[in-house]
Amino acid sequence: MFHFLLFSAVSSPGVYYAYENSDAMGKGIVLLLLVCSVITWSVMLDKALGLQKAKRNSRRFLYDFHASTGAITAASLVRDGASNPGPLAQIYTSGIERLLEFYENDPANSYGVTQAVRLTEEQYNAIEAVLEQEVSSQIMELETRLGLLGTLVSLSPFCGLFGTVWGVMMGFCGIAAAGKSDFAALAPGVAGALLTTVAGLLVAIPSLVGYNYLNGTVRNMTVEMDNFVEEFMVRLRLEQLKLPKNGGEL
């Protein structure tokens, strides 16, 4: 957005006049903010598309998980989890892999007919720990580059403010060196100085909106993952209650 506004500003005598009357520092800051704008918009668009895809995949797997009336280790459900790249499917797969280590599997097909056994409390804790670890890994993946975006959101206004302070300071230094107070001589420098603040705000405002939206999406998905872990463990415990004391086939 910022670079579009900057390019369109060529036809605006006011903005173009301010840029032309900026010193090297002011022009450098404006160009730096242009680069920051390109980076922030690239990150926001890429993350928004990635998070939407992750949400769709998770919802599709959650539907399959709820629709499955068989055991939690049912072959069809395990296949769905292995083929689905969504966060919930990855969490399910990590938990199932740990669970199957405790079950007596068919050597010919570990995802086929499974002989379930009674789990101890320590084994429950081990499965839950694997699930929580995978949740943390998925959160780290979802938050990738959000730190960079947050840094640029905070940095852009300060860069603009620095350019403004620098430009005003240089303008007053020029008047002092000339030995006379002339507003006409000060105006071009002040106009160029204020341009950096405008540029900083043009980067920060849309970036802040996008950053808050992405953060909110990640928080919602984190809650969904935590809820899924609880649902996974409850379903597993209910299935365990139905087993005979010596275990049984699922």
- Better-scored residue on pLDDT, 45 or 175: 45
CA-wise closest residue to 127 among 187, 174, 166, 135: 135
* C-alpha distance across the termini of the chain, in Å: 57
Cβ-Cβ contacts under 8 Å for 103 (sequence gap 6 or more): 73, 114, 115, 116, 117
pLDDT of residue 69: 85
- Better-scored residue on pLDDT, 30 or 116: 30
User: Could you give phi then psi for residue 246, rounded to 5 degrees?
Assistant: -95, 15
- Express each pLDDT in 68-105 by its tens digit: 888 899 989 999 999 999 999 999 999 999 998 888 64
Report residue 107's pLDDT band, with 50, 70 and 90 as the boundaries.
Answer: very low
Report, as an integer, the average pLDDT of 106-134.
Answer: 78
- Is the whole model's pTM more than 0.75, yes or no? yes
Report residue 11's pLDDT band, with 50, 70 and 90 as the boundaries.
Answer: very low
- Name the residue with tokens 């415990």: 237
Q: Which sequence spans correspond to the domains of the chain?
A: 2-249
- Better-scored residue on pLDDT, 207 or 173: 207
Say if residue 13's pLDDT is above 70.
Answer: no
Report, as an integer, the average pLDDT of 220-231.
Answer: 97
Say if residue 110's pLDDT is above 60.
Answer: no
Say if residue 158's pLDDT is above 60.
Answer: yes
Locate 115 and state its tokens: 């002989």
pLDDT of residue 115: 73
User: Which range is least confidently modeled, 94-103, 176-185, 229-238?
Assistant: 176-185
Cα–Cα distance measured from residue 239 to residue 41, given in angstroms and rounded to the nearest whole number? 48
Helix axes 121-142, 183-241, angle to 10 degrees: 160
Report, as an integer, the average pLDDT of 155-178.
Answer: 83
Report residue 22's pLDDT band, with 50, 70 and 90 as the boundaries.
Answer: confident
pLDDT above 90 as % of the chain: 57
